[in-house]
Amino acid sequence: MVFTVGSAVIGQNCLGMLIAVLTQHRRRWLRSAIGIVVVSAWVLPELVAAFAVYAFLNTDGTLNNLLAGLGLDPQDWLYSAPMVAVILGNVWRGTAFSMLVYQASLSEVPTDLVEAADVDGAGVFRRFWHVTLPIIRRSVLTNLMLITLQTIGLFTLIYVLTAGGPGAETQTLPLLMYDSAFEFDEIGYGAAISLVLLLIGGLFAVVYAKSLREEV
């Protein structure tokens, strides 16, 4: 739950929205450049993206080399902050999807409504909260449903970075299912975990679908 909420509901969703809003009225070349940078992580195969994050965060990785250049002590980030590491890795890879969804939905917001709110004296935050967000609400709910379901079943990224460790600090249900079935030969227990995982995904889907129907 910590991993799903941190990397999908908060991380990918909010960061994707922020990038889409900040680039909405910028020059085309700037939007294209930012889009290429963000989408490049999304189009990478999950295994390649996981190794890229590992190369950045491990003891001899890029981050520690940068910190050493600033005179700071390096750390083993995958051991000292494993959950933060896997959350940031998933946010880096998956934010592009949310960004593209919100860029498309923001382009459909009527400009006359935003301009009318501006004339009435509404600030940037109030215009977004009271005008833009209600209009794109269905896109927000749809995006949340899709990225939540994808994140619940994420396996490769976490397995490459921490394999669920240290201890069981980053052991999500897919990793527990894999370890139970294939490492400890408890096929029945692994199957039971897969059923629980399926039920959790179904519960999220029902909640989001109900929210979408209420918007009709």
For 113-143, give the DSSP string.
HHHHHHHTT--HHHHIIIIIHHHTHHHHHHH
Q: Specify if 157 maps to a domain.
A: yes
Query: What is the predicted pLDDT for the residue at 173?
Result: 92
Residue 11's pLDDT band, with cuts at 50, 70 and 90, is very high
CA distance 166 to 160: 13
Helix (H) or strand (E) holding 179: none
CA distance 74 to 63: 8
Q: Specify if 184 maps to a domain.
A: no
Total of domains in the chain: 1
CA distances from 210 to 11, 151, 215 (A): 23, 20, 9
Q: Specify if 64 maps to a domain.
A: yes
Please say if the pLDDT value at position 214 is more than 70.
Answer: no
Q: Which residue range(s) make up the domain with 119?
A: 2-166
Q: Specify if 171 maps to a domain.
A: no
CATH of the domain at 19: 1.10.3720.10
Q: Specify if 71 maps to a domain.
A: yes
Condensed to tens digits (0 to 9), the pLDDT of residues 46-83 reads 899 999 999 999 888 899 999 888 888 888 899 999 99
- 3-state secondary structure at position 70: coil
CA distance 204 to 171: 20
Helix (H) or strand (E) holding 95: helix 82-106
Q: Specify if 15 maps to a domain.
A: yes
CA distances from 13 to 5, 8, 101, 136, 185 (A): 10, 6, 10, 13, 37
Q: Specify if 197 maps to a domain.
A: no
Q: Specify if 46 maps to a domain.
A: yes
Helix (H) or strand (E) holding 188: helix 187-215
State the burial class of residue 3 (Cβ atoms within 10 Å of its Cβ: 0-12, 13-18, 19+): buried
Percent of the chain at pLDDT above 70?
99
Condensed to tens digits (0 to 9), the pLDDT of residues 24-54 reads 878 888 888 888 989 998 988 989 999 999 9
CA dihedral angle for residue 155, residue 157, residue 161, residue 167, rounded to 10 degrees = -30
Condensed to tens digits (0 to 9), the pLDDT of residues 86-125 reads 999 999 999 999 999 999 999 888 888 888 888 878 888 8
